[in-house]
Structure 1
Amino acid sequence: MTSASTSSNPVASIVLITGGSRGLGRSAALAAARSGIDVVLTYLKQSTEAQTVVAEIERLGRRAVALPLDVGNVRSFEGFAGELAQALKTHWQRERFDFLVNNAGMGVHAPITDTTEAQFDALVNVHLKGVFFLTQQLLPLMNDGGRILNFSSGLARFALPGYGAYAAMKGAIEVLSRYLAKELGPRGIAVNVVAPGAIETDFGGGAVRDNAELNAYVATHTALGRVGQPEDIGPLVAALLQPATRWVNAQRIEASGGMFL
């Protein structure tokens, strides 16, 4: 676990962002910090990158902690919840956090005819089973009146060959989010979905970022005429955690620049 900053704001809200060491998670963590929210971010292997994000957040005057987490390993969630509780007590003198952003993920690109059971199971474990049971495990540590944001994908609306298994998981997350919103309504917890389009990150091997032909294809089929950047998504996440958006609930918000309209 990396250390938190010494800045003090005992009434600041705290967001937990899974996969916050890179890509969209990093952008969301920094945007949340700029909006006045303290951050707990998780990482799988990239501890150095995670600590770099913590340092960036500290320079913005917010507190931050990075914790290791494998979102594909449900058996680790109870231990992680204990580590999170200890981090909240140590760095914030609090027992609960306010917002959960289920961002961490991995991609598989393969036609349905070639998708292996191992690939399918890995997607289930990370994108569906992991989100379901991590949320379940962390709900006792969340404040009433908080927010949950689950990441989906534009691929749950439009279809591109090779993403069938991945998109199916995201479709399931969209349904799960509506049920979470219904069941957590009595606690005042709003649950929404953020669905990015194609973004220039290292996700899926960095294909959208590094493959010029694919990049141009996406830009041609996007109303705003370009591929998305991480900075197009992070501020949206931060905005959905603000008091002004408290009445947005059980919604799918696509941020794709208008892909395949």
Structure 2
Amino acid sequence: MSTHSIQGKVVLIAGGAKNLGGLIARDLAQQGAKAVAIHYNSAATRPDAEATVAAIKAAGAQAIALQADLATAGAVEKLFADAIAAFGRPDIAINTVGKVLKKPLVEISEAEYDEMAAANSKSAFFFLKEAGKHVKDNGKVVTLVTSLLGAFTPFYAAYAGTKAPVEHFTRAAAKEFGARGISVTAVGPGPMDTPFFYPAEGADAVAYHKTAAALSGFSKTGLTDIQDVVPFIRHLVSDGWWITGQTILINGGYTTK
């Protein structure tokens, strides 16, 4: 079996119950992963997690759903420990966790900032830490960020600002884990046509985002389709292993760096 094949590999996906994370989980199972452990945040997401587990098993892989709020280092440690207890050390670890806030900077409270930092920066840092400790040699690690890291825009200071450190975490991890053959990347989709996107945006903003990408006219919604992101994730955790330490914006020409 190739070191960089998905066939027979163990996968851990944070935020793997639904939307992009759920589609990645199903896709990697269909590509021959042996086992997929998916994390979900709260009881409200449990039905989605159970549906994704069923789909993974239907594709011929083992699966488990693990609930946790990843706002603390201890919770991330336990997530890895529980996944390893079920399936052994992961070959592939993917973190899709994130939280959006669109609000003028001068109106953001300390509590809101702390919540955003915990969801977007702190959880990502400790996910990378645990991945560095537990992912097998020649493994693959991917963190989801945002294409707003390439934007000059108002109202997303807390969202893009707390995702931005992940670029630095990714570069450091790529250097530190590279001696073990582990590649580490960050992926920034454009505004995606999922329930994650719409609550933060007004009608005017939605209309703008649907026309802002260079290829918007060729997308069924004008937005980034999660179906168009998944093949890039699949590539990064298999034949695309030579890409490491990079932030890759997958957005149809919405922003660039």
Instruction: Return the TM-score normalized by structure 1.
Output: 0.86
Q: Distance in 2 between matches of 1:120 and 1:19?
A: 21
Q: How does 1:80-229 map to 2 (within 5 A)?
A: 80-88=79-87, 95-207=88-200, 213-225=204-216, 226-229=222-225
Identity of aligned residues (%): 30
Counterpart residue type for residue 169 of structure 2: L
Task: Tell me if structure 2 keeps the 8 A contact 1:29–1:41.
Answer: yes
Shift of 1:234: 2.0
Counterpart residue type for residue 38 of structure 2: L
Shift of 1:172: 0.7
Counterpart residue type for residue 220 of structure 1: T
Residue 16 of structure 2 is aligned to residue 20 of structure 1? yes
For 1:3, the equivalent position in structure 2 comes to none
After superposition, the C-alpha distances for 1:209-238 in whole angstroms (9 at most, x for unaligned) are: xx6543331122111121112212222211
After superposition, the C-alpha distances for 1:121-167 in whole angstroms (9 at most, x for unaligned) are: 11111111111123323433210110110111111110332111111
For 1:247, the equivalent position in structure 2 comes to 242
Which ranges of structure 2 fall in alignment gaps of 5 or more residues? 1-6, 217-221
SS at match of 2:138: strand
Range that drifts further, 130-139 or 16-25 = 130-139
For 1:66, the equivalent position in structure 2 comes to 65
Q: CA RMSD in A?
A: 1.8
Shift of 1:169: 1.6
Instruction: Return the TM-score normalized by structure 2.
Output: 0.88
For 1:56, the equivalent position in structure 2 comes to 55
Q: Distance in 1 between matches of 2:206 and 2:198?
A: 14
Q: Distance in 2 between matches of 1:252 and 1:124?
A: 19
Task: Tell me if structure 1 keeps the 8 A contact 2:99–2:119.
Answer: yes
Shift of 1:207: 4.7
Shift of 1:70: 1.1
